[in-house]
Amino acid sequence: MVYKAKLEYKVKKFLIIGGLGSVFSLVIFVFSSYIPNMFGFENRNLGALRLFFSILLIGLIMLCTTRLSYKFQKPILLFIFLLFNISSISIKNAWVYAAYFNDKLFSDIFKEAGNCKEFTTIVDYDIYNVVKSDPHLILREPIFYHSYESAFLILKQHKNPKKIKVYNIESKIPQSIPSPIIKIKKIIT
């Protein structure tokens, strides 16, 4: 009896923290200047909203499991477990595909640049169309967009990131970029 009372207190605490945190995060999120999208943690408020909503879901699952009989608990928990596993596997596959996409993009850049050892490239590959139309990319996995991402991707191609700079035309490009500049228009299919 004491154990059940402590468990119900913990469940209520989870529900209160998750519920209030979700509401406060939503209020801050609604009144901020951030343009909402479904693509991730580019904003702290969106991250807080996801965190507190996850806590709220955990509280709701705990509430269901403490209030329902054992024969209903098992199928509900099994269904939730299978649902999370399926979504995790899908997201893992999307991240693997995004890594393949980045590797292919950068290997194509170096093929077009020839055997130049030092150059700057501005890539135009219509990232928004790729994200919208490619069924392998579920939640805009980390495909090349910002210029700071290029150093690692250049290094993966066994090139020197200090001598080679790659920029995406749709992200911020510095005013003074070193020459020679190679502009590459990629059509990704």
Total tally of structural domains belonging to the chain: 2
Note whether residue 49 is domain-resident.
Answer: yes
Q: How many CB atoms lie within 10 A of CB 112?
A: 13
Question: Are residue 117 and residue 51 in the same domain, yes or no?
Answer: no
Tell me: do 126 and 61 sit in the same domain. Answer: no
- Assigned domain for 13 exists: yes
pLDDT of residue 40 exceeding 60, the answer is no
In a domain, 114, yes or no: yes
Same domain, 117 and 57: no
Average pLDDT on 96-123 reads 85
% of the chain with per-residue pLDDT over 90: 0
DSSP 96-156: HHHHHHHHHHHHHHHHHHTT-SSEEEEEE--HHHHHHH-TT-SS--S-S-SGGGHHHHHHH
Q: Tell me: do 120 and 179 sit in the same domain.
A: yes
Q: Decide if pLDDT at 63 tops 60.
A: yes
Average pLDDT over residues 103-116: 84
pLDDT band (50, 70, 90) for residue 2: low
Same-domain check for residues 62 and 125: no
In this structure, is residue 168 part of a structural domain?
Answer: yes
Q: Residue 24 is encoded by which pair of tokens?
A: 């406060």
- For 124, the domain range is 104-185
The answer to whether 153 and 106 have CB atoms below 8 angstroms apart is yes
**Is the model's pLDDT at 77 over the cut of 70?**
yes
Residue 77 lies in a domain: no
Q: Is 42 left (phi over 0), alpha (psi -120 to 50) or beta?
A: alpha
Please indicate, yes or no, if residue 92 is contained in any of the structural domains: no
